[in-house]
Amino acid sequence: MKSMDPLIAQLPFTLPGQFYKGNLHTHSTNSDGGLIPREVCAFYQRNGYHFLSITDHFMEQYGWPVTDTRPFEAPGFVTIPGAELHTGRTSVGEIWHILANGLPFDFAQPVPHETGPQLARRALDAGAFVTCAHPSWYALSEADVLSLGPVHAIETMNGISADHNDRIDSWAMFESMLAQGHRYTALTTDDAHFLGRHDDHGRAWTWVKSTSLTPEALLAALKRGEFYSSSGPEIFSVEFSNTSVYVRCSPVESVFVTGKGAKSSYAHGRGLFEAELPRSRLGDSPYCRVTIRDARGGRAWTNAVWF
């Protein structure tokens, strides 16, 4: 089919390089996790991940850690320094949770009375890829999310939340933000703590398209939105024509192209590895994104394409 390059260019599938699998939210014994950093890195490397960011809680009680995992890198496996930042209070009185990947090791601790939005701005200015962490898990409002300013992403799936308070899914918040014209990307993670009480590891990950497996290249690609998220299946390509959206993927049972509000185009069947879906069903939606769902309920999600 004849492709529309401006639309395809918003997704990573035709870009040079290859996809690298990683987890951008996890914890170690440097904060409230159950494994030492070396063991956390070994787990993800052993399970086929190419990169990891240990994001320990950046709090006084843990000594303000930005965990240094560089000693645990190996051929085919790199790490990105990061932390989960906390300060102030949200609209429902919870302390802020802000995910920051790519923080400098000397990132300054929060100052008295620093707000969540101010801390997020400092992390952005320091060069981090900044995400509004698990909004459903602690009942963020839309106003809370918007108050963070130009953060890059919303954490739409958070593994530990499934067995903590059954709020693993923040897609509703993400969809509401898209419908209002806000161009966040969607990040899915484990938020693994390895405490044994929760099945919180290997639940969700990110596929980043990059020309090299380095922390710098991965961070740059994340900031450009050159990734998709998954809890199982893989997306191989998404192409557009004037009339349809063509998706190739690993075998699934459902393929969705969704737009603003309830607008959607979909295909269902056993062992689908491709689908061509009419754009007419999207009406006048200014954007769309692709979701695939396999027989086990695993999903993969692209970021939004803006028409």
For the chain, the structural domain boundaries read 18-229, 232-306
Say how many C-beta atoms besides its own lie within 10 A of residue 112's C-beta: 5
Would you state the pLDDT for residue 196?
A: 85
Which neighbouring-strand residues pair with 118? Answer: none
Whether 209 and 226 have beta carbons less than 8 Å apart is answered as yes
Tell me the torsion sign for CA atoms 15, 17, 19, 20: negative
Listing DSSP states for 188-228 in one string gives: EE--B---SSS--SSS-EEEEEESS-SHHHHHHHHHTT-EE
Q: What is the CATH number of domain 18-229?
A: 3.20.20.140
Strand pairing class (82-85; 78-79): unpaired
Fold annotation for 232-306:
Immunoglobulin-like (2.60.40)
Would you state the pLDDT for residue 270?
A: 96
Whether 129 and 103 have beta carbons less than 8 Å apart is answered as no
Tens digit of pLDDT at every position of the chain (307 positions): 444 457 888 999 999 999 999 999 999 999 999 999 999 999 999 999 999 999 999 999 999 999 999 999 999 999 999 999 999 999 999 999 999 999 999 999 999 999 999 999 999 999 999 999 999 999 999 999 999 999 999 999 999 988 899 989 999 999 999 999 999 999 999 999 999 887 889 999 999 999 999 999 999 999 999 999 999 999 999 999 999 999 999 999 999 999 999 999 999 999 999 999 999 999 999 999 999 999 999 999 999 999 9
Whether 227 and 303 have beta carbons less than 8 Å apart is answered as yes
Would you state the pLDDT for residue 4?
A: 46
